[in-house]
Structures are given as structure tokens and as C-alpha cells.
Amino acid sequence: MKFLLPHRFKKIGLTLAPSGFLLWLAMQRGYITRLCTEFFGQDNPVPHFGQYHHINVASATIGFFSFLVGLYFIAFSKEKIEDEMVQRTRMDSFQIAALLQLVIIIIGFTTLLYSNLEEEITMLLIFIVATITFWISFVVRFNYLLHYRIK
């Protein structure tokens, strides 16, 4: 595959993905707001950044996209030795991941049709879960088959 990144991007991805996830989790659990309150006091704007709400939105966005970019780096980096079996395993893992994503989307939309959930938020959630499922299942399966099953 011509569009694969050099092997060093895997290490960058392995740092970026967990830190992005931790940042997103910190925002969701309210640690960012708590940290801002600790430093600047209740409801005071943070200099150069504005209200805590803006910082939370920025943290969530940076965290989520760092997580996705990190996963992309892990998934699309070359192995140390890139041979035909690695390429075959990558293609197989892509197929399984795509299938899983399709299943998530079908289940999600069927649930949405037959329930009273709020459409916009649920659809957004379905797409987020489907995207993350695709990347995580691909990365986990590919690396498991290549590095853990074969010893």
C-alpha cells in the first residue's frame, strides 16, 4: 500500500491516542472545570481562553481528534518488516472492522426507529460509536494477530 506512513508514526500514535482519550475523559468527568476553578476561582474567565465552557469544548475537541488521529497513525503505519502476510492481515482486519461498523450502524438505526430517543443526539452517538468501533476493532485485531497470536 502506497499511502502507509513510516513505522515511526506508530509510536507517535501510541502516545497520541491514549493522551487524547485521557483528555476527553478528564473533560467528561469534570476535571478540567475543577482544575480551572482551583486556579482561577468560581466562574472567572481564564485569561486568553475565556469561560470554562469554551475550555471544556476545546479540550473535548482536541482530545477526541487526538484520539482519532492517534488511532489513524497506529492503523496506517508500516510494520518494521512490511511483507505480504502483514498486508493480508491488514486487509482482513479492515474487512472485519467494516463489517462490525455496519452492524453497529444497523443496530443503532433500528433502535432509533423503534424508540423514543432524541433523533439528533442519538444519530451523532451512533456515528461516534461506529467510527470508534471501526478503528479500535481494526487496531486490536491487526496487532493481536501479528504480534500476540504468533510467537
Partner 1 sequence: MKNYLKEERTKRDWTQAQLAEKVQVSRQTIISIESNRYLPSVLLCLKIAGIMDLKIENLFELEGHDWRA
The partner residues of 5 in beta bridges, in order of sequence, read 77
Give the nearest distance from C-beta 7 to partner 1 in angstroms: 12
**Does residue 2 belong to the site contacting partner 1 (CB under 8 A)?**
no
Residue 18 near residue 70, CB atoms below 8 Å: yes
Sign of CA dihedral 40, 42, 45, 46: positive
Residues 80-109: x where in contact with partner 1 by CB under 8 A, - otherwise, as a string: xx-xxxx-x---------------------
Task: Tell me the three cell numbers of residue 24.
Answer: 476527553
Start-to-end Cα distance in the chain: 25
Residues 29-68: x where in contact with partner 1 by CB under 8 A, - otherwise, as a string: ----------------------------------------
Contact residues for partner 1, defined by CB under 8 A? 79-81, 83-86, 88, 146-147, 150-151
